[in-house]
Amino acid sequence: MKTIPELKVRQLKIEPDPRKILRSTDIRDNVSAVCLFQPRARKALEMGLSIPGMEYNVYVAGEPGLGRTYLVENFLLPRAQTGTTPPDLVYLNNFDNPDKPLLVSLTPGQGKILKENLQRIVKRLRRDLPRHFEQASYLRLQNKLFTKLALVRDDLMDRMDEAAQKKGFSLNIDDSGAVSLTPLVDGKVLSSEEFERLESSQKKVIKDQSSAVLNTIADLSRLVNKSEQEFRAKEVQLAQEHAASLVDRLLMPIHKKFADNKALKKYFDSFKEDILENLPHYQGRQEREPRTGPEQQGEGLSDSFFGRYDVNLFVDNSEVTGAPVVKEINPGFFNLLGCVERETEWGTYYTDFSLIKAGAVHRANGGFLILRVDDLLNHPAAWEGLLRCLRTKQSSLDDPTDHYDMLRTRTISPDPIPLSLKVLLIGDDETYELLYMHDERFRKIFKLKAHIQDTVERTPESITGYAQALDRAGRETGLRGFTKDAYAELVNYSTRMAEDRERLSLHFSHLREIMIESNALAISQDKRIIDAGIVKLALDEREYRTNLYQEEFLREYDRRSIKVLTQGQGVGVANGLSVTQVGDYVMGLPHQISCTVGVGHGGIMDLEREAELGGPIHTKGMMILKSYFVNLFARNKPLVLTGSLCFEQSYAQVDGDSASGAELAALLSALSNVPIRLDLAFTGAISQSGAIMAVGGVTHKVEGFFEVCRRRGLTGQQGVLLPRDNIVHLVLRDNVLQAIKDGQFHIHPVSTIEEAMEFLTGTRAGERLKDGRFSPNSIYAAVDERLTELAVLAEKKCAMPRRKSIKKAGS
């Protein structure tokens, strides 16, 4: 029987030692975590930025807590600062067609200047135009027109009166312009009573004459109206010519400032024309300049009419240096894609160019837009709109209901905005796979995937960079200073998080939490510097806050309520190990695995599966176990037996194959009648060839069994058997390492089930001989003999005397 060496403390030591490395290193260097820890993600991001157009957008895939957003921002910001600042975008009123607002692109910062200048011009016009119309030169010309109109009007009125007198009528015109004729007899006005007493022939003559007079007066009245219309036209022309000088003088500076912009030049002409066409809104409305504070200088015009001259500063890049980097945390349809807002007045909706609002895609235009895919997919309309924008390379400010068969209200149709930006979606791998498989548009638009790895190799260079990244995070968070030994403690803890002595975990968000808690402890202890002792205390307190469930389980182990033995031996039983996660806390606990066998044809039954408590991976592990068993013992005979395997006192879901090795050991023990040591626990997955394969959570499993043994009293014989491939995954606490160093606890790596059985039982496992039988006095020989007995018993349906138990080697 081979001797299985146990692991020594030096084999479990974490190398290289970060304390030695950091003591000779300047951790204040500004290191790029992107370049050092995420080379694949960096390559994908660089490729995305180097390819123009909007097809090569990037999906950043990784687990939460790896600093995905922080990584992307730190990669983009320095590159964005060297980029070109995109132009300002403004919407202006279209005086010819208000339902089609004008989109104008301006040099960064010019949009705000245009808005302020036009507001100032309109205020000046509202103040100065009424005064301008009170100038003597204008009043003199206006009076001249009035005089001319009065002369023409008086002449026409005289002609009307003369025409009436000739026909024997008196002409009267009241204030409202109504004309009345009264007949005259001998120069006297004929009253109605006198008119009625006249002869019929005379009445007829008077009526005929009055009709002729009225026709003449009507012709003259039309001449009066024509002259008044000509006067009003000349008066408007005079007012426009007089106002044009003031408007031109006020517009001249802004004309010069934006002389290179053809769209604005055309707008200024329309602006002037609209003012001159609406002079009645200015004439006679002299206003004193309101006393406004600096905070009111940028306010829009309050009067609804004069709001038509305002500037809708749609995108303002005046304070942007380089290309914009926009992170939208609430990517709803309107926040992401913009909208045309509506207001109510007298119970009806209305809108205009000033109610067009920009979205994140517009603010990020010419730069980069960062979105979390889980937030985005919560708004299906926003997701569809984003894909439409990236596909068409422009943004149309639509209402989301416009794309469905719903009632549409009248609205404006602004010019679409050309787009040129890179979108970076941040999410996990599962969402990426779903979108890639089920949305063809996603594959065409997000062609690059930036993989975020969760661990990095533990080397002197990575340890140095890791400490520098932690130091940078602490300074950005405003924490007190950490000593190099404190950073070394955090580096070692990251290795424990990675569950691999050769790796460092990149879950910086978790380590940042440890640093913040350490900072709080330092403040409570009035320490200006955070040393390794405070970091250890923060880790211990976090452990204490989260291990309540483990303590309750351990209390039941102490009371023996959970039947797991840590001393002695047993046939058909073995101590298996499992891990359970409650929130962010992972605990390892031992379980008794038991096996019974008997006569029958039922085969080996997995009670966890029968009770629907076993997961698919656990079921697969049991199938592999059975396959190995059949391959070993059913080469020359059928397997005829009834047996069962189960986790004792397990009432929750069981999944994973890490207990299949212990289950096979219990089965072999039950068939061979060879007892298994219960001061040892066994974890490892069995293969069809009998190899013990690596499993997860070995650190927590070892510590869980150690804690149960420690509370019951260490005997110096207790320990754990685990796969040899898992040695590198052991990152044990100091108290476990000390017990191993003192010889109070042991860890035995194994590669095959034969090695495990020999150590668990003290008996040779055995091997197949040339004649097909197994080595004498071995476990396999006893199992093979028992299986033959069970087959005979099942065939004859009668009892046979049991064989004696085999003796252990050396006894």
Q: What is the per-residue pLDDT across 22-43, written as a single tens digit (0 to 9) for each?
A: 998 888 766 565 567 999 999 9
Cα-to-chain-centroid distance, residue 708:
44
Among residues 678, 687, 628, 626, which one has the least CA distance to residue 658? 687
Cα-to-chain-centroid distance, residue 71:
14
* pLDDT, tens digit, 9 for 90 and up, residues 462-479: 999 999 999 999 999 999
Domain C-terminal end among 277, 308, 339:
308
> How sure is the predictor about 282, in pLDDT bands with cuts at 50, 70 and 90?
confident
CATH number at residue 373: 3.40.50.300
Tell me the backbone φ, ψ of residue 751, rounded to 5 degrees. Answer: -110, -25
Residues 284 and 155 in one domain: yes
More confident residue, 679 or 177: 679
Residues 490 and 594 in one domain: no
> How sure is the predictor about 178, in pLDDT bands with cuts at 50, 70 and 90?
low
Residues 607 and 729 in one domain: yes
* pLDDT, tens digit, 9 for 90 and up, residues 566-612: 999 999 999 999 999 988 899 999 999 999 999 988 888 888 888 88
**Predicted pLDDT of residue 301:** 40
> How sure is the predictor about 411, in pLDDT bands with cuts at 50, 70 and 90?
confident
Instruction: State how far the Cα of 649 lies from the Cα of 634, in Å rounded to an integer.
Output: 32
Q: Are 326 and 73 in contact (CB under 8 A)?
A: no
* pLDDT, tens digit, 9 for 90 and up, residues 721-776: 999 999 999 999 999 999 999 999 999 999 999 999 999 999 999 999 988 889 99
Q: Are 466 and 504 in contact (CB under 8 A)?
A: yes
For the chain, what is the radius of gyration of the CA atoms?
Answer: 47
Q: Which two tokens stand for residue 206?
A: 């008077």
pTM comes to 0.81
Residues 60 and 27 in one domain: no
> How sure is the predictor about 193, in pLDDT bands with cuts at 50, 70 and 90?
low
pLDDT tops 50 at residue 300: no
Assigned domain for 685 exists:
yes
Q: Are 369 and 328 in contact (CB under 8 A)?
A: yes
Assigned domain for 50 exists:
yes
Residues 161 and 279 in one domain: yes
Assigned domain for 144 exists:
yes
> How sure is the predictor about 293, in pLDDT bands with cuts at 50, 70 and 90?
very low
Residues 115 and 73 in one domain: no
**Predicted pLDDT of residue 93:** 94
Residues 6+ apart with CB under 8 A from 543: none
**Predicted pLDDT of residue 366:** 95
CATH number at residue 525: 1.10.8.60
More confident residue, 436 or 298: 436
The single-letter code of the amino acid at 61 is A
Assigned domain for 184 exists:
yes
Our count of domains for the chain comes to 4
Residues 226 and 338 in one domain: no
**Predicted pLDDT of residue 752:** 95
**Predicted pLDDT of residue 239:** 79
Q: How many CB atoms lie within 10 A of CB 766?
A: 22
Q: Where are the alpha helices (DSSP H) in 28-67?
A: 33-37, 39-50
pLDDT tops 80 at residue 175: no
pLDDT tops 60 at residue 406: no
Instruction: State how far the Cα of 719 lies from the Cα of 183, in Å rounded to an integer.
Output: 138
* pLDDT, tens digit, 9 for 90 and up, residues 134-171: 778 877 887 887 787 777 777 777 777 777 766 666 66
pLDDT tops 80 at residue 541: yes
Residues 45 and 115 in one domain: no
Helix (H, G, I), strand (E, B) or coil at 622: helix
More confident residue, 281 or 333: 333
Residues 448 and 460 in one domain: no
Residues 440 and 470 in one domain: no
Q: Which two tokens stand for residue 709?
A: 């043994």
Domain C-terminal end among 243, 276, 308:
308
Assigned domain for 99 exists:
no
**Predicted pLDDT of residue 584:** 85
Instruction: State how far the Cα of 152 lies from the Cα of 158, in Å rounded to an integer.
Output: 10
* pLDDT, tens digit, 9 for 90 and up, residues 637-659: 888 899 999 999 888 888 889 99
Q: Which two tokens stand for residue 203?
A: 């009445």
**Predicted pLDDT of residue 394:** 94
Mean pLDDT of 173-179: 61
Residues 6+ apart with CB under 8 A from 652: 613
Residues 6+ apart with CB under 8 A from 690: 628, 632, 752, 753, 754
> How sure is the predictor about 287, in pLDDT bands with cuts at 50, 70 and 90?
very low
Instruction: State how far the Cα of 494 lies from the Cα of 497, in Å rounded to an integer.
Output: 5
Instruction: State how far the Cα of 571 lies from the Cα of 596, in Å rounded to an integer.
Output: 9
pLDDT tops 80 at residue 214: no
| H/E segment holding residue 532 | helix 532-546
Among residues 99, 102, 92, which one has the least CA distance to residue 416? 102
pLDDT tops 70 at residue 206: no
pLDDT tops 60 at residue 286: no
**Predicted pLDDT of residue 346:** 67
- Angle subtended at Cα 642 by Cα 639 and Cα 647, rounded to the nearest 5 degrees: 120
Mean pLDDT of 372-389: 94
Residues 6+ apart with CB under 8 A from 322: 80, 81, 82, 83, 84, 85, 367
Residues of the chain with pLDDT > 90, as a percent, come to: 62
Residues of the chain with pLDDT > 70, as a percent, come to: 85
Assigned domain for 314 exists:
no
**Average pLDDT of the chain, as a whole number:** 87
* pLDDT, tens digit, 9 for 90 and up, residues 83-121: 999 999 999 999 999 889 999 999 999 999 999 999 999
CATH number at residue 686: 3.30.230.10
pLDDT tops 60 at residue 806: no
SS3 content of the chain, % helix, strand, coil (to 5): 50, 15, 35
Q: How many CB atoms lie within 10 A of CB 179?
A: 15
pLDDT tops 70 at residue 404: no
pLDDT tops 70 at residue 297: no
Assigned domain for 506 exists:
yes
pLDDT tops 50 at residue 246: yes
Assigned domain for 504 exists:
yes
Residues 301 and 374 in one domain: no
Residues 137 and 237 in one domain: yes
**Cα dist from 415 to 95, 311, 394, 573, 766, whole Å:** 15, 15, 10, 78, 84
Instruction: State how far the Cα of 172 lies from the Cα of 161, in Å rounded to an integer.
Output: 9
Residue 403 domain boundaries: 39-86+320-452
Q: Is the peptide bond before 723 cis (omega within 30 degrees of 0)?
A: no
**Predicted pLDDT of residue 30:** 62
Instruction: State how far the Cα of 145 lies from the Cα of 182, in Å rounded to an integer.
Output: 34
Return the minimum-mean-pLDDT range out of 267-281, 406-420, 434-448, 469-483.
Answer: 406-420
pLDDT tops 50 at residue 326: yes
- Per residue in 22-34, is it b (16+ CB within 10 Å) or e — as a string? beebebeeebbbb
> How sure is the predictor about 299, in pLDDT bands with cuts at 50, 70 and 90?
very low
Q: Which residues are catalytic?
A: 658, 701
* pLDDT, tens digit, 9 for 90 and up, residues 424-466: 999 999 999 999 999 999 999 999 999 999 999 999 999 999 9
Helices (H) then strands (E): counts for the chain: 27, 32
pLDDT tops 80 at residue 187: no
- Per residue in 491-506, is it b (16+ CB within 10 Å) or e — as a string? bbbbbbbbbbbebbbb
Q: Are 521 and 515 in contact (CB under 8 A)?
A: no
Residues 6+ apart with CB under 8 A from 295: none
DSSP single-letter state for residue 281: G
**Predicted pLDDT of residue 228:** 72
Domain C-terminal end among 287, 308, 329:
308
**Predicted pLDDT of residue 33:** 54
